[in-house]
Structure 1
């Protein structure tokens, strides 16, 4: 998924349709010159609807669609005929999309399933025809309700990627390299920080034709929860992962300290993230001998499942998959 094609934030103006006006018609035919009221109701204005689509991975198709305008409802007619409802506008979005009010930040909808539909901007109700206002004291009302106006509001659509495993680590920790080794994903890989500027998803094949989805989240730095580096723009994607795989390079002078920095950034951004199951992979460990590896393992955080891996030599890659699969079953 190239950086130019991955869009996880759009702001659009949604205008639902006005309701149609009710009719104030009085029945007339060749046998009845002074019939009673038979005005029909106006039709409902068109809704703006979000619909989940599991085949979409980005909001790119909505990036330049700044205004979404639904059709108004039709006016009521004679013989109690109701006006046509305005055509709804359906916006297909990836699973994991959240709609928020642009002014208040209040969440309006959350798409979590394929084909799930949620109305985010309802159309105006149609007005009542004069037949509804007939009474013993007013048997020929000559008035009807106008249609209810539609709504016009700015809405923010945010995509939070759904994945089984989220890779969490500092820039250049080997996250993209791991994803390219265990899946068919082809993220950009280079030996400098912030190579990954957008999240990448990969489907990891496991034993007996099983699989799970892994997300490579752009690197976190100290202060990311306050907006430093790539800031909180990509921290939100971690919220949708079942388990978190922390990745720290064996070249780090203090693995435990780096792990605590990462945990603190997640805690500051959203304390609920710490309730997710966590695993630790020490990357770039192909040059470590058994003695040095044992020495480093003794310094790792207690009660945290850890494994030393190398994506270049495939060291412990299958064992890492086993660890992840076991954690997913527990989760």
Structure 2
């Protein structure tokens, strides 16, 4: 099973520590908050890049990910770096096609992008696929190698506290299929591939790769308006927690959510001072630790 293939690699994930920011927490007891929606990368999990993007990569990452996912390498290892050049060209092309079709901030499904990339690499004679080749496994392994992740301090305790208090929890995240897998493993030690995170409401979970739109497009947040309405909730009843003043705070505020800026890790401390609107907006709350949410809610 696919899950059996993932578990050994998940067990190899190593801890990383936060890098504290110089931000000052600013919050008080909230009133009239009835649901809490979270960003993931840089908010619920520490990310070496501070986001879902790659932190670093080298030829060994390609070699290990290819070999462990059933691809045969046909060239000297140092030539494998050209695969990333193919990957970047496919990304640029597909994003431009989406923008030309009217999507200002397109998100791509990386499984499809890597599939196109590796097929081109095979046509170029760099690798050879086999009956055992698994593009989802390659995508997952390359992510684990190129962007180290670890649970944010206080993650489990904070989520458990909010669930105990009865808050519906949701997600709006620039994410890929492996993101819920990683989260379920961090939270519960489970390896699941149903692409939802246990403990979060399915109807309040929006992952960019599924709708092919990404932050800071407010439309990704508007995906929640109707599900919230069915629950008898309005956007102003919702607190959105994220680490990016543009993608999280400004964009979610355009839909009417109350906002909480998470300034807990320097890698993901995105003030966006170069963005005219995002640099001027004031979040409703600023926290430097997830556990401070217990005091707000």
- TM bin (shorter chain): under 0.3
Q: TM-score, normalised by structure 1?
A: 0.24
Larger strand proportion, structure 1 or 2?
1
Greater RCO, CA 8 A, separation 6+: 2
